[in-house]
Amino acid sequence: MATFGRGICIITGASKGFGRALAHEVSHSLEPGSVLLLVARSGTLLQDLKEELHSFSERQHLIVHCIAVDLSTREGVNETVRIARQEAVNEIDHVLLINNAGSLGEISGFENFTDLEMVNSYLSFNVSSALALTAGILQVFPCRAGLRWNVVNVSSIFALKALPSWVLYCTAKAARKMMFSVLAEEEPNIKVLSYSPGPMDTEMQEDILRLTGTRHCLLPCQESAVKLVKLLHDNDFPSGKHLDFFEV
Amino acid sequence: MSSSGTRTDLGRALCIITGASRGFGRVVARHMSGLLKPGSALVLAARSGDELRAAAAEVTGAAAGGGGLLVLCVPVDLSHSDGVTELLAAVKTSYTDDMDHVLLVNNAGSLGDISRYMTSFTNMAEVDSYLSFNVSSSLCLTASVLEAIPRRPGLRRTVVNVTSLCALKPHCSWVLYCTGKAAREMMFRVLAEEEPDVRVLSYSPGPLDTDMFTLARSRTADPDLRKSLSDMFAQGQVLTCDESCTKMMKVLLEDQYVSGSHVDIYEV
């Protein structure tokens, strides 16, 4: 069975939805001595998740840390990097960073986006934070022989396709897609994947339904998480590629 | 209208240009002034009041039909909400109901620190600041102008996004610039989808003889990219702003471009 070796895996937005499902799926692929860093704002939800993983993680000798921080702040990003650095003392052969944390933003007609502070706040959480965190973790675990490095950008079809009233979300997803493409160009030893998970049964989709009245046929998070993990194990894509759940 | 159906002027227009003090924006101001009918207004925004006034001096008196062009210099920092508000106020005072065209040129932009690679961008404030100026300000300014001057019969509304090949293709050591340009292109594509009556042109002007290009070819960290830029310069492949602007005006006058699409100078 393919594994992520003795690795350190960082998942942002791990408390709910897709991030939470990923925590479960990824943990099955981590070998003893691996470290799982779960990052989100809610300490309570993270603790619940840690407990869910408990019997499995104990058996598997997985170290699980809950990092309850706000990634839209410099302090939140720095704290995550600090804890990763603490764990860097152990010998690992794989780093897996999953940039999953994200938000929908306001869904509204273009001409309503006149508030610079609001737009900046949205871009800070959804774009700047992912860049600063990725850069920080890269500095903690510089590329070296024998170290496999994977970065995942949880993306969306709306990184590619413009959707009326969704200017914030589309703009941030398009920004991230390019950002991670630059990473792939700059760092040939890092395997970068932008993964569009499809519409899943998450709170974000509930918000979408409430705000737009649009109901999609929803995937269980777990199904999409399984697919992402398989893509990572198969490792059969060029770095920087954008892949969608429905096309693989 | 000429017999081919192409307009020969941009009408009695309110034309707003950001980053109008230097480089491409300054040349756009000059070209625009030659295509605006009497009763038009040209609002020029940038940080430097002195440079704006020099740009305005190049423009005044050049209006089509020999006069009647109001030129307003608005020195503002668009990366702050005060800047956007102040520019919007100038836009509102310059607009008159007998105008038949409002044209916003989102040209202001910066390269970001291209002397560093992505792994060095651990400072969120630096990235936030970059995105504020290059992405957020153009969203808020465009939204504010469209809200302030709503759709009405007989009024054309055009929004230009000065873009780049970097919106489409990743470039080593240029993470901020590529990210900002990709973000803007998507942003303006959403506008084009939402508002079919607004003409949205994402124009990629090519490599230009500006301060930005000088910075690019001298400071780029990636050796291959730096070499290709300085080769471009050495081999005379850098375009003048005039050449590129002429093409952009042609595209605007012909008005045949697909709203929201990426139009590259080399395809014009």
The structure tokens listed for B89 are: 């106020």
Residue A246 to residue A192: CA distance in whole angstroms: 19
- Kindly give, in sequence order, each residue whose CB lies less than 8 Å from that of residue B133, ignoring residues fewer than 6 positions away: B78, B79, B108, B109, B110
Q: What is the predicted pLDDT for the residue at B4? A: 61
CA nearest to B176 within chain A: A179
**Residue owning tokens 């309570």:** A44
Report the length, in residues, of chain B.
268
Q: What are phi and psi of B123, to 5 degrees?
A: -95, 105
B144 membership: H or E segment, kind and range? helix B137-148
Whether B160 contacts B103, CB under 8 Å? yes
Q: What is the predicted pLDDT for the residue at B66? A: 52
Q: How far is CA A24 from CA A36, B27, B70, in A?
A: 10, 57, 64
Task: Round the average pLDDT of chain A to a whole number and report it.
Answer: 95
Task: Round the average pLDDT of chain B to a whole number and report it.
Answer: 95
The structure tokens listed for A174 are: 């398009």
Q: What is the predicted pLDDT for the residue at B61? A: 53
Q: What are phi and psi of B45, to 5 degrees?
A: -120, 140
Q: How far is CA A85 from CA A112, A127, A139, A152, in A?
A: 42, 23, 9, 20
Contact yes or no for B170 and A167 at CB 8 A = no
- How remote is the C-alpha of B8 from its chain's centroid? 21
Q: What are phi and psi of A93, to 5 degrees?
A: -115, 5
Single-letter amino acid code for the residue at A221: C
Contact yes or no for A132 and B140 at CB 8 A = no
> Which of A117, A123, A186 lies closest to B117 in CB terms?
A186
Q: Indicate the angle between helix axes B124-131 and A116-123, nearest 10 degrees.
A: 130
Average pLDDT over residues A157-168: 98
> Which of A109, A113, A176 lies closest to B139 in CB terms?
A113
pLDDT tens-digit series, residues B156-168: 999 999 999 999 9
Count helices and strands (H / E) in chain B: 9, 7
Is pLDDT above 80 for B2?
A: no
Whether B17 contacts B28, CB under 8 Å? yes
Question: How many contacts does A have with B, using Cβ atoms within 8 A?
Answer: 170
Q: What is the predicted pLDDT for the residue at A55? A: 78
CA angle A130, A174, A204 (to 5 degrees): 70
Contact yes or no for B119 and A187 at CB 8 A = yes
DSSP A214: -
> Which of A162, A183, A187 lies closest to B260 in CB terms?
A162
pLDDT tens-digit series, residues A81-99: 999 999 987 789 999 999 9
Q: What is the predicted pLDDT for the residue at B106? A: 98
- List, as one string, the DSSP characters of B38-58: TTEEEEEEES-HHHHHHHHHH
A63 membership: H or E segment, kind and range? strand A63-68
> Is A111's Cβ below 8 Å from some Cβ in B?
yes
- Which class for A60: exposed (0-12), middle (13-18), buried (19 or more C-beta within 10 A)? middle
Average pLDDT over residues A154-177: 98
| CB burial string A99-136: b at 16+ within 10 A, e below | bbbbbbbbbeebbebbbbebbbbbbbbbbbbbbbbbbb
Average pLDDT over residues B82-96: 97
User: pLDDT-based confidence at B198, cuts 50/70/90?
Assistant: very high
Average pLDDT over residues A114-143: 97
Is pLDDT above 60 for A5?
A: yes
pLDDT tens-digit series, residues A11-47: 999 999 999 999 999 999 999 999 999 999 999 999 9
Is pLDDT above 80 for B3?
A: no
> Which of A114, A167, A173 lies closest to B144 in CB terms?
A114
- Which class for A200: exposed (0-12), middle (13-18), buried (19 or more C-beta within 10 A)? buried
Residue A113 to residue A80: CA distance in whole angstroms: 31
CA nearest to A81 within chain B: B122
The structure tokens listed for B187 are: 């942003």
Average pLDDT over residues A220-235: 97
Whether A129 contacts A74, CB under 8 Å? no
Contact yes or no for A162 and B193 at CB 8 A = yes
Q: What is the predicted pLDDT for the residue at A60? A: 79
State how far residue B81 is from chain A, nearest Cα, in angstroms.
6
Average pLDDT over residues B24-30: 97
- How remote is the C-alpha of B4 from its chain's centroid? 28
- Which class for A182: exposed (0-12), middle (13-18), buried (19 or more C-beta within 10 A)? buried
User: pLDDT-based confidence at A61, cuts 50/70/90?
Assistant: confident
Is pLDDT above 60 for B65?
A: no
SS3 content of chain B, % helix, strand, coil (to 5): 45, 15, 35
